[in-house]
Amino acid sequence: MTLNPFGTVSPAQIVQAAERFGTPFFLYDEALIKKRCQALLGMPNAFGLEVRFAMKANPSLALLQVIAEQGLGVDASSMNEARRAHIAGIPYGRLMLTTQDVPSGEDRAALEQMLREGMTYNICSQRQLELVLPFLMQNAVKIAIRINPGVGAGESVTRNTGDKYSSFGIHLAQLDEVKNLLSKSMVRIEHVHAHIGSGGDPEVWRDNIDRMLLLTEQHFPDAKAVNLGGGFKEARMPDETAADIEDLGKYAKQRFEEFRSRTGRALTVAVEPGTYIVANAGYLVTSVVDIKSSGPDGFQFVVLNAGMESNTRPLLYGSRHPLYVIDRQGEVLSSEFAANGSARPLSLCVVVGRCCESGDSQTLDDQGHVLPRAIAVPEIGDMLVIGGAGAYCSSMSLGNYNSYLQPPEVLLKSDGQFALVRRRQTFDQMVANELAL
Ligand SMILES: Cc1ncc(COP(=O)(O)O)c(C=O)c1O
């Protein structure tokens, strides 16, 4: 029996891993990651498909190795991410750098070297272009241009990256100036890119296909690839609906074919999802350390030995993550994927972490108010497993807030064996860079 309909992790494996590594820890499901990679590589397309993993979702060395083995490339959002991807074995030819940063000093020299070795630089601002232009004029390297198309969508307003509230990419209003710079330099843009947000409405993603093709036709006569970014909506909770990537692929295929009939140009399509590949393949496995209430008119609180410092998404976005209560023998006491089959009566609980912060809860609405959820009331020492924790949890963790240590990461391999892929941070590591007066 698996914990949910899509993964391969069983409650018994959660208990085994907890006994071996101690809670809290992140657990990743290799088989599901591979399945997601293959689904993406099988997306319908007209004239070729490039798939890059947006490693900001989870930059774990082991996960990058798994994903690279499946044949995907990587989208890095900083020079250090590019370095980490390369260390994981991603050749520069399969790497794209899309960054808000303006690499300078050592980073600038390293960028030039990476570009010479085949990395694609996705230029995200006019300043980035101006600074790199002299190098581009003397070196035949691969560049892309990120457009802010003026329309985006996301799981929350802060996850929309494609409208006037967002600073990402070159806005359409600046496009003429940028094209002017490019035409004087004879540098050609072969890859046009937009990432309009994460987890937004698939309809908006679909509209973006049309918008990007129109922009490519109007402004980028040399483009050979159109990159639609990532952002596929994922269903972490049983009542959520994921984007249908087969359907989006079919739509894109049809539109790219029409584009060819109209213009004679056969464009490759590129996508760079993060969430879709790893979100549901990750679990944050915690133990219940306390249970308390805020009085007859208040709430029942279940206190875990991990919280916002490891999964900040409920506080940041009001995101919901599925909660599983499992006892030490591996019996699932409640699961939101099996609401009627709970071994214990359900009760409305607010699930909190240990940080001195009212926002340290896994059950919040998008205004930051606690939103109790129906789970089995656990006993101290039972495990509470937070699902959907493979993307933007470990990678966006708050580090050492309240001086809690970063948890280890464990991979459940496709052969059923566990591999420790990141050790638990030690106290000494936490304070290593501090200098006494
Ligand atoms: C440029 C870029 N590409 C891809 C992604 C991946 O988005 P998602 O994880 O929603 O698929 C992001 C996420 O912020 C991004 O900024």
Domain check: are 111 and 146 in the same one?
Answer: yes
Name the residue at shortest CA distance from atom 14 of ligand 1: 198
Cα-to-centroid distance, 304 and ligand 1 (Å):
29
Instruction: Tokens 């040399």: give the residue.
Output: 222
Q: Which domain holds residue 176?
A: 29-278
Cα-to-centroid distance, 233 and ligand 1 (Å):
11
User: For residue 273, what are the contacts with CB-CB under 8 A and spacing of at least 6?
Assistant: 40, 51, 53, 54, 230, 231, 232
* pLDDT of 282: 98
The answer to whether the beta carbons of residues 87 and 74 sit under 8 Å apart is no
Domain check: are 290 and 269 in the same one?
Answer: no
Q: What is the atom index within ligand 1 of the atom nearest the CA of 122?
A: 1
Cα-to-centroid distance, 138 and ligand 1 (Å):
31
* pLDDT of 340: 66
- The phi and psi torsions of 288 (rounded to 5 degrees) equal -80, 125
- Ligand 1 close to Cβ of residue 230 (< 6 A): yes
Rounded Cα–Cα distance for residues 83 and 399 (Å) = 21
Domain check: are 102 and 78 in the same one?
Answer: yes
- Ligand 1 close to Cβ of residue 275 (< 6 A): yes
Q: Is residue 366 part of a domain?
A: yes
Q: Is residue 395 part of a domain?
A: yes
Q: How far is CA 303 from CA 79, 225, 287, 379, in A?
A: 38, 49, 9, 11
Cα-to-centroid distance, 273 and ligand 1 (Å):
6
Q: Is residue 172 part of a domain?
A: yes
Domain check: are 251 and 362 in the same one?
Answer: no
Rounded Cα–Cα distance for residues 268 and 227 (Å) = 8
* pLDDT of 152: 79
Domain check: are 211 and 272 in the same one?
Answer: yes
Cα-to-centroid distance, 361 and ligand 1 (Å):
25
CATH number reported for the structural domain that contains residue 397 in this entry? 2.40.37.10
User: Averaged in consecutive runs of 10 residues, what is the pLDDT profile of the chain (437 residues)?
Assistant: 95 98 98 98 98 98 98 98 97 97 96 98 97 96 93 79 84 93 92 89 88 96 96 95 95 98 98 98 98 96 98 96 97 88 87 96 94 96 98 96 98 98 98 98
Q: Is residue 56 part of a domain?
A: yes
SS3 letters across 119-134? CEEEECCHHHHHHHHH
Total residue length of the chain? 437
DSSP string, 313-324: HHHHH-----EE
* pLDDT of 248: 95
Domain check: are 124 and 231 in the same one?
Answer: yes
Domain check: are 55 and 127 in the same one?
Answer: yes
Domain check: are 208 and 151 in the same one?
Answer: yes
Domain check: are 246 and 307 in the same one?
Answer: no
- Ligand 1 close to Cβ of residue 229 (< 6 A): yes
Q: Is residue 349 part of a domain?
A: yes
Q: Is residue 118 part of a domain?
A: yes
The answer to whether the beta carbons of residues 292 and 209 sit under 8 Å apart is no
Name the residue at shortest CA distance from atom 16 of ligand 1: 195
Domain check: are 295 and 234 in the same one?
Answer: no
Domain check: are 247 and 292 in the same one?
Answer: no
Domain check: are 341 and 272 in the same one?
Answer: no
The DSSP output letter for 382 is: -
- Ligand 1 close to Cβ of residue 54 (< 6 A): yes
State the burial class of residue 364 (Cβ atoms within 10 Å of its Cβ: 0-12, 13-18, 19+): buried
Q: Is residue 7 part of a domain?
A: no
- The number of domains in the chain is 2
- Ligand 1 close to Cβ of residue 274 (< 6 A): yes
End of a domain among 278, 308, 335? 278
Provide the token pair at 369. Answer: 């108010």
Cα-to-centroid distance, 195 and ligand 1 (Å):
7
* pLDDT of 341: 66
Cα angle value 213/197/194 (rounded, 5°)? 30
End of a domain among 278, 310, 343? 278
End of a domain among 278, 295, 323? 278
CATH number reported for the structural domain that contains residue 248 in this entry? 3.20.20.10
Q: Is residue 11 part of a domain?
A: no
pTM of the model: 0.96
